[in-house]
């Protein structure tokens, strides 16, 4: 089934119940702002997100070593806050290591090194889920397969991604340029407009691959942009007919048992990995607005 043909199913798909799991990477906090290195600001941000996600399931993937400035006690406090509020804590390596830049053994050590803090946050329980940093699973088949075997050995389930609104990029610009324009609300609308485009893309790609809607997994990050945008983001999902489900429930969708033969340096969504495996061409994903992408690059 090619892309154009799949669009014919869109009307039918819209009438069906849509499901999405929310996942947040880079707890205690990503690199959206210098205040991310301050414990008080990070606690406030965490509390904002927890309040807005009340009764909504989400999985929080943490890098305990990314926030050393917060102190070990501060990181533990934030991870416990997430866990005690009913959210699932997952492993995202200790310091957001890049599998493309370090040996596999070092990357595996980074995964294990994150566990003590995560266990403290969960009251002693081990991690169940793992999220690949940068969505990079191995630059070649040997590395990919060895990492997969390592995760299986340590009873870690890899968490795929099928929806991604580049919030990490928007968040960095939001913390500086967007606020300086005195129109943060307008910037948030642009972020959500782009996310809306990516949701449409993911829906149509899923139809091309599976001829039906699937339970999607949305990648977000712990940052101020999402804290400020969360009510509108949840409203966007509701308008599009989505109910938010737990990651565990999303992974029961048979789509996530699909074969993935991709090995390479790119951090691809799983939709593109499955398309690669099946030799099904998908059009390019929506591109971030040029001015926002330029502003991000200037800050790097």
Average pLDDT, the chain: 92
CA distances from 203 to 32, 143, 206, 211 (A): 28, 31, 5, 10
The length of the chain in residues reads 300
Query: Comparing 293 with 7, which gets the higher pLDDT?
Result: 293
Q: Which of 38-42, 90-94, 151-155 has the lowest mean pLDDT?
A: 38-42
Q: Which of 3-7, 14-18, 151-155, 198-202 has the lowest mean pLDDT?
A: 3-7
Task: Average the pLDDT over 44-63 and give the result.
Answer: 97
pLDDT at 233 > cutoff 90: yes
CA distances from 238 to 6, 14, 110 (A): 23, 12, 37
Query: What percent of the chain clears pLDDT 90, i.e. is strictly above it?
Result: 84
pLDDT at 137 > cutoff 60: yes
Residue 268 neighbours by CB distance under 10 Å? 17
CATH of 3-299, one of 3.20.20.70, 3.40.228.10, 3.20.20.370, 3.30.750.200: 3.20.20.370
Query: Comparing 105 with 10, which gets the higher pLDDT?
Result: 105
pLDDT at 144 > cutoff 90: yes
pLDDT for 9 = 43
């Amino acid at each position: 089934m090619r892309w154009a043909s799949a669009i014919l199913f869109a009307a039918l798909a819209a009438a069906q119940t849509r499901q999405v799991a929310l996942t947040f990477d880079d707890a205690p906090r990503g690199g959206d702002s210098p205040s991310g290195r301050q414990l008080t600001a990070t606690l406030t941000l965490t509390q904002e997100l927890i309040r807005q996600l009340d009764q909504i399931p989400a999985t929080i993937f943490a890098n305990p070593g990314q926030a050393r400035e917060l102190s070990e006690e501060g990181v533990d406090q934030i991870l416990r806050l997430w866990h005690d509020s009913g959210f699932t804590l997952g492993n995202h390596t200790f310091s957001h290591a890049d599998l493309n830049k370090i040996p596999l053994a070092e990357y595996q050590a980074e995964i294990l090194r994150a566990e003590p803090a995560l266990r403290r946050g969960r009251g002693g329980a081990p991690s169940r889920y793992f999220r690949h940093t940068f969505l990079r699973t191995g630059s070649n088949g040997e590395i990919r397969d060895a990492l997969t075997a390592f995760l299986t050995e340590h009873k870690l389930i890899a968490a795929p991604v099928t929806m991604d609104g580049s919030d990490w990029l928007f968040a960095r610009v939001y913390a500086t340029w967007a606020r300086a324009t005195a129109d943060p609300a307008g910037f948030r609308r642009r972020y959500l407009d782009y996310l809306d485009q990516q949701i449409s893309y993911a829906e149509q790609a899923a139809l091309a691959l599976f001829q039906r809607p699937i339970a999607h997994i949305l990648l977000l990050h712990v940052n101020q942009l999402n804290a400020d945008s969360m009510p509108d983001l949840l409203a966007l999902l509701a308008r599009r007919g989505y109910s938010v489900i737990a990651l565990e429930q999303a992974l029961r969708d048979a789509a996530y048992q699909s074969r993935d033969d991709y090995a390479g340096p790119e951090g691809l969504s799983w939709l593109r990995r499955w398309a690669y495996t099946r030799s099904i061409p998908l059009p390019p994903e929506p591109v971030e607005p040029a001015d926002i992408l330029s502003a991000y690059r200037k800050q790097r």
